[in-house]
Amino acid sequence: MPAHTCIAGSAETWVGRCPDDAAEEGGHPVPDPPRGVRAMTLTLAQVRTWQPGAVASIADAVTTRRRDLLAAQDTFDAAAPPSSWIGQAAAAAGAAHRQLGAGLQDLAAELTGVIGALDAAAEDLTTILADLEDALAYARGQGCRVDLVSGMVHADDDDAPVEQVAARLGQVLQAAAQADSTLARALRAAAATLGLTGPDAQEPAVSPPPPDGTEKDAARWWNSLDPAAQQYVLDHHPDWIGNLDGVPGWARDEANRILVPQYRKELSAEYDRLLDLALRTPQSPYFFTRAGAVQKMLDGLDQIDAVLDRGGRQLLTLDISGDHELRAAVAVGDVDTADSVGVFVPGFTANVRDSLAGYDSSMAALADLAATESLRQGNVQSIATVTWLGYEAPQADMGLLLPSRSVLSASSAEAGAADLASFLRGVEASRDTPAHTVPIGYSYGSTVTGHALQEHTGADAAVVLGSPGIGTDTVDDLTVPEGSTYMIEARRDVVADTGWFGRDPSHMDGMTGLSARQEDVDGTTYTESVGHSDYLTEGSTSQYNLAQILAGQPEQAVQHHGRGIGDWFSKPLPTPWSR
């Protein structure tokens, strides 16, 4: 059996992966780098292209400019108003000269700091590149292969030290993250001190995104902004872009991370207000109920913080405007650069407070397996997976009695479908090259997904798990390439046998069934999923099949119609013209 692992993280953790050619499997995270590093994605391949000599050359050029500035300062000092000049004009001229001279001194001092930061960065980058080459040489000497883009370390020998190789490469990435962050902070601080940016700078003229525009309109608006204007939006109007479909994931993530503490403050104040009103009117449960909903959102923000602390995440949606539930979407990996993006839509009872952490773990495991399976077939695929809780799913509460919130009603699915379709289109619009995009709908979430896919979304394939129906009786209504819509139904999944929201998918022509049974594939036994809740279980056939679809390898998936005894009751009755 070959040994294999990967290194991962992002810049509030980093993603980087391992040695020289294409490899085969993965899944070992390295420690996150220090806090305060701007969220982005870094790979070993990118680090290897760094040029410390070019940074040193910039330091030399800045040193020359500083020397010129000091010479100009000497000339300027010599041109001070003569002491023989007296009067109001002389006083004003002297004050102006002193102010300009102080400005020149500040500029010289800041340039000295920039030169020091550039020299230190050049030295750090030289050390990092040397450490990287040493780590790669060590990997080769131990019989390991490292893929610099995907982050996979592979060895044919079980005894090969793949985890040690991954750890050494992870240390290189952490050092690279720290060096990049340190230099960026020094440059930003110098720019702010000199008035080139920050509160004393002239604010760029930035118009808000076009109202009621499409996802492509949002992408065009964002791309029309220069880096300074984009930074201005992040600093002053993060709410413009945190949920704006069409804006790149990195920017949405940064904006939403800024908004988390702001929203926590707002919700805490609202909770206190509602609780005060509730205590004043104990005869009415309304304010207690509303306070409980707000507290649930606050708990959801805590869960988001905990998931983001895992590293390698992007907070793509953060919405506190809902009546009952906090809405959020968190990606594992980088949706801006991944070759394949899976978007998982949970169902009944799912919410941020109680469900995000568990589903995020499942999505991380699915992404790792999809990357492993792509490498097994000789491909190098980067994978991102999204837990999309961007709609208010029906809950097991008093809302069940309301037609608009009941799990037996399609109202929540239809409302969520519009947002899901926009999210999928936004991922497509924000990228220069499209990803292989796969929405994955589970339970009631499959109904949301089915309704969304009746609009254009750019989806390349779709999978529904334990589906009570996708809002239509025919696959032809879905805007998914022919033959690329899949269903998985486990034995004894009574929800999947209802056909409540359209024909049971297991009876739909054009819907390809994938196995949830125990299956043996290339010497590996994958376990069976039984009932309604085990479709994402690690090591299951269901998870294996999801990974193959996500990796764009449907020919490697194991097919099965999924029909059992319960499906006899959901089988459509024949019509006279079909006999």
Spatial contact of 315 and 257, defined as CB atoms under 8 Å apart: yes
- How far apart (Å, rounded) are the C-alpha atoms in residues 504 and 467? 8
pLDDT (mean) for 446-458: 98
Q: Please give the Cα distance from 3 to 20 (Å, whole number).
A: 15
Q: What integer pLDDT is reported at residue 31 of this predicted model?
A: 34
| Res. 427 pLDDT band, cuts 50 70 90 | very high
Mean pLDDT (whole number) for 213-238 = 94
List, in sequence order, every residue forming a beta bridge with 319; answer none if it has no partner.
Answer: 327
- pLDDT at residue 310 tops 90: yes
pLDDT band at 568 (very low <50, low <70, confident <90, very high): low
Q: Confidence class of residue 34 from pLDDT cuts 50, 70 and 90?
A: very low
pLDDT (mean) for 135-152: 81
DSSP state of 520: E
pLDDT at 411 over 80: yes
Average pLDDT along the chain: 85
Q: 321, exposed or middle or buried, with CB in 10 Å at 0-12, 13-18, 19+? A: exposed
pLDDT number for residue 29? 35
Q: Average pLDDT in the 30-46 region?
A: 49
Do the beta carbons of residue 335 and residue 376 sit within 8 Å?
no
Report d(CA 7, CA 164) in Å as an integer: 10
Residue 468 has pLDDT above 80, yes or no: yes
306 contacts 289 by C-beta, under 8 angstroms: no
How does residue 32 score in pLDDT terms, banded at 50, 70 and 90? very low
Note the maximum CA span of the chain: 114
pLDDT of residue 106: 73
Q: How confident is the model at residue 188 (pLDDT cuts 50, 70, 90)?
A: low
Q: What is the pTM of this model?
A: 0.71
pLDDT digits (tens, 9 = 90+) for 498-515: 999 999 999 999 999 999
Task: Specify which residues 438 forms β-bridges with.
Answer: 342
Q: Give the rounded percent of residues in the chain with a pLDDT score beyond 70.
A: 87
* Window from 38-52, 155-169, 201-215 with minimum mean pLDDT: 38-52
In the predicted model, is pLDDT for residue 149 greater than 50? yes
- The pLDDT score that the predictor gives to residue 504 is 94
Residues 6+ apart with CB under 8 A from 305: 260
A 10 A CB-CB count for 36 gives: 11
What pLDDT does residue 570 have? 64
pLDDT of residue 5: 52
Identity (one letter) of the amino acid at 506?
S
pLDDT at 419: 98
